[in-house]
Amino acid sequence: MSAVSGRLVAVQAIRRLNEQNAYSNLLVNNLLQTGEWDPKERALATALIYGTVEHRLTLDFLLSSCSSKSLKRLHPAVVAILQTAAYQLVYMDKVPDSAAVNEAVKLTKSMGQQAASGFVNAVLRAVARRYRELLDGLGDSDRDLSLRYSCPLDWIKFWQKAYGREKMLAILAHINDEPPTYLRVNTLKTDARIVAARLIEMGATVEELSEPVGCLKVSGFFAGNLLEMDEEICYYYQDKASQLACAALGVQAGQRVADVCAAPGGKSLTIAQYLRGDGEIVAGDIYAKKCEIIRNRAAQMGVANITVVRRDASLPCPDEWMGTFDRVLCDVPCSGLGVIRRKPEIRYKTPSEFADLPALQYRILTASAAMVKKGGWLQYSTCTLNPAENEEVVKRFLQENPDFSPRILPLPQAFAAAERKPHWHITLFPHQQETDGFFIAGFERTV
């Protein structure tokens, strides 16, 4: 069986993403599990898919500027071929221009679009000649920012209104960056310094963070399977923001903790490390398949004190749970605007598509509050950059729930990076804390 062509798979994927409202990470995972892959072709396909989605508005601007025909009039396969090839020309320095153009022409012919092969060749050669001039000609207007950073105008205006122009520009400046790789070391099984030392031996660059303890920032030669041990037992991938949320919860050995929207289970596993085997975690999710994933991960990690339950966290909790938890974590479903670097297609949704989320998030928060015992702590978090899902939800909660008071979050370095004094809520930004975009708020039950 011949190896799969990375460029062909990328074109097929981009065509599907152009025509359907699909998530790129799920599509990539499904595609990469089929066929016989050469590692280089697999890497090429992954880079092309994510990169083309990320830069679609910029690529379409360049292609339209170099084409005598509207992209809307072209066959969908030709559009996908042009987009993926233009991405190679503009953003992949290691791919020769001639290779990007010639392979695109071959794909055009092999996909039954022979009549368009000359057109594809001419447009791509024009892009190769002109793209620097076209990009350099963009100014600082919102339209030009949209084309430069491949971010729809709706979100540019949205973030400017929410956070001011300076932070909006900082969000855009990092929106297409490759996110840092953070690992969470399973401190129940090993020590962060041991894992770091072994990664360094394998050629990785490793930074051990002091906040949160047990977090490693890894770069360089690292493919996720460098350790000669089961990586799911020794470490797992978890962004620094999620690890900070677990640290902020202030879990202590012997406590009873609820993680009400737990899938895929990473935060429950990290919380288990703070319990040190003494205490209980109740991890819930609405979907049976995701509950099974949590159970399997806990077993792999050697964590025996996680009880997984299937339930809808927006509904009232069982009577026997009322006021019985020391700590309750509500990491609620959200719009995901803080993880656009990992799921680039989110940027092409509109603010109106997320309008119903704050109501759901508030229901989950208020239902979960009933689980907290007097003196216990409740925490709310999202991976989004949207005040309606963040500050507005938690401020409403305090107004309508007098039994709870704000709790200062124990994250001194995160606040220092934002040049703020410790507070009861914080928004983490990629340009400040080197994390995903994230929001954390803390409460204490006082009555």
Amino acid at 298: A
Whole-angstrom Cα distance, residue 200 to residue 418?
A: 30
Quick one: which of 123, 19, 113 has its CA closest to 64?
123
- Kindly state the tokens that stand for 62: 């360049």
**CB proximity list for 313: less than 8 A, separation 6 or greater:** 260, 261, 284, 286, 330, 332, 364, 367, 368
What secondary structure does DSSP assign to 381-415, as a single string? EES---TTTTHHHHHHHHHH-TTEEE---S-HHHH
Quick one: which of 336, 337, 350, 259 has its CA closest to 303?
259
Handedness of CA 115, 117, 118, 122 (dihedral sign): positive
- 66 catalytic? Reply is no
Provide the pairing of β-strand 215-220 with 181-185: antiparallel
Is the separation of the CB atoms in 151 and 175 below 8 Å?
yes
SS3 239: coil
In this structure, the chain runs to a length of 447
Is the separation of the CB atoms in 66 and 33 below 8 Å?
no
Quick one: which of 67, 80, 70 has its CA closest to 121?
67
Based on its alpha-carbon atoms, the radius of gyration of the chain, rounded to whole angstroms, reads: 24
* Other Cβ atoms within 10 Å of 377 Cβ, number: 23
Give the Å distances, CA to CA, from 142 to 153, 159, 243.
7, 12, 35
Is the separation of the CB atoms in 383 and 389 below 8 Å?
no
**CB proximity list for 29: less than 8 A, separation 6 or greater:** none
- Kindly state the tokens that stand for 310: 């299937």
- Residue positions annotated with a catalytic role: 383
